[in-house]
Amino acid sequence: MPVLVDEVIDALALQPGETVVDGTFGAGGYTRAMLAVGAGRVIGFDRDPDAIAEGRSLVPDPRLTLVEERFSQMDRVLADRGIGPVDAIALDIGVSSMQLDRAERGFAFSADGPLDMRMDQSGPTAAEFLNKADEAEIARVLREYGEEPRARTIARAIVAARPIERTGKLAAIVRRAVGYRQGQKSDPATRTFQAIRIHLNSELEELEQGLVAAERSLRPGGRLAVVTFHSLEDRIVKRFFRERSGGTPAGSRHRPVLADPNEPTFEKVARPVSPTERELAGNPRSRSARLRSATRTSAPPRKLKGDRK
């Protein structure tokens, strides 16, 4: 069930025939909606080979091009394929229901499966990380990416229970370490699973680089809409739009505000949008979703370290 799809379509304000990037194709919910309102071409990116393999049959439309790649690479991929600056870009950050619902992918703590959690199905698995990393490193990941207040306690319990190969075992270790009563509102394993997944897939770095790639891929007047699922991600998008639209970055005693010599690359930054009560009732997973959107100006993209002078 795509989250905030009507709101994303509103924010993208597609005109008939426009070219749009769906940076997180997933099960194709956004892409289907983009095509339904008359997009001329959709380039659907996903780093998960399963999403790409199943995409064509989920959305059998000749206007769709599927690309198995991370959205942080979209500017390069679009340029390589000779696709000019695009009219709109959507990013729907996080895991798909497809990934969560398949126990063998190892994302869910509600069903037992191998501790995998790799979106692009390459690189080290969650089991390899947890069985090798030292306690301090595991605690850091839980604290930074899960905002877990009991990170040390959980990390200690994980190290003591190694090897851990199954999601069910990891969930049980976390629940035992921090105490869990049946029927408690939220499962304490949620934060640990989220943290490990974000770390393993470098999700925050991907989001930061994806926003920069979007800035480099949009035409002047092009729209960018980003849906996030928790505060760590939302903060990154909020800061990016604030900084790129010329808003004053929040300074501090340690980090004084410096004048920004760059022209704003985004404007018309919209207020954040949350799901309606109606959407929440039908799709509890959308609880913490938040949409932010803005329009690209004609200013050149910000320079990156590797750029030629």
User: Which residue number, 71 or 109, has a Cβ lying nearer to ligand SAM?
Assistant: 71
Please choose, out of 89-97, 110-118, 248-256, 257-265, the segment that lies near ligand SAM by the rule CB under 6 A: 89-97
Report the residue from 43, 89, 119, 177 that binds ligand SAM according to the rule CB under 6 A. Answer: 119
- Residue 303, SS3? coil
Q: Site size for ligand SAM, by CB under 6 A?
A: 20
Task: Pick the closer one to ligand SAM by CB: 94 or 146.
Answer: 94
Cα dihedral 257, 261, 265, 271, rounded to 10, equals 30
The residue within the footprint of ligand SAM, chosen from 26, 55, 146, 275 (CB under 6 A), is 26
Contact call for residue 279 and ligand SAM (CB under 6 A): no
With CA atoms as reference, report the closest residue to 2 among 35, 38, 27: 27
What distance in Å separates the CA atoms of residue 122 and residue 105, rounded to the nearest whole number?
Answer: 12
Report H helices in the chain.
5-12, 29-36, 49-58, 74-80, 97-101, 126-132, 135-146, 151-160, 167-178, 189-200, 203-217, 231-244, 277-282
- 301 is an interface residue for ligand SAM by CB under 6 A: no
Q: Is 116 in the site for ligand SAM (CB under 6 A)?
A: no
Q: Name the one range near ligand SAM by CB under 6 A: 88-96, 128-136, 137-145, 258-266.
A: 88-96
Which residues contact ligand SAM (rule: CB under 6 A)? 2, 24, 26-30, 45-48, 51, 70-72, 92, 94, 96, 119, 206
